[in-house]
Amino acid sequence: MAEYIYFAASLPSVWMDKPSPMKYEEFLAKAKEQLSEKDYSELEKASFSHREGKVTNRIVKDWDSFNFTFSEMLVTQRAIKNGKGDDPRYQPLSPRDENLEKKAKEIVPISNPLDAEKAILGEYFQFLSSHPVSSPFSLDALIIYGLKLQIKERVAAFSEEKGREEFDRLYRDIQNVITSRSDYGL
């Protein structure tokens, strides 16, 4: 496996509780200059929305598995919260993971959607931070770095003010629909 000592060593650290040191696209542009074509192709496959193509990298496979399983656990816990826990449509397809189930049980009751989403992204970040790699200069380490940048971009995209504005807009639209229907006796 190739080692990217200079490139990996030149990258600033990514922390969940600090601003992102760079944009993901900037990282990809730098990686394209430094990585082999094959390794860069594997790096690109590591994303929140898995891209088509054969995945051979174990980190990408582990990430996809974790992402899928954790999403299923969240769906199941939300179904239970909404009284639909017995509905087979909301039962997980992947094997039961008690640790992820516990995390999902802690996150689902969070009433503030922004706080809940940050908690979910925090779990993603923690998974990546604790994932073993053969070397801090390996492609695996660079894939984890790229995924962490994607998480940071998702967190940075949240704005409480914008969220409130969108909620208020949707609420007004719903009120207008209700008012117009009542005006017509619907």
User: Could you tell me the mean pLDDT of each successive run of 10 residues in the chain, 186 residues long?
Assistant: 86 94 96 95 82 76 90 93 88 87 96 92 96 94 97 84 66 69 57
pLDDT above 90 as % of the chain: 59
CA 124 – CA 25 distance, rounded (Å):
20
pLDDT in tens, 5-59: 999 999 999 999 999 999 999 999 999 999 999 999 989 988 876 555 677 889 9
> Residue 168's pLDDT is what?
67
> Residue 111's pLDDT is what?
92
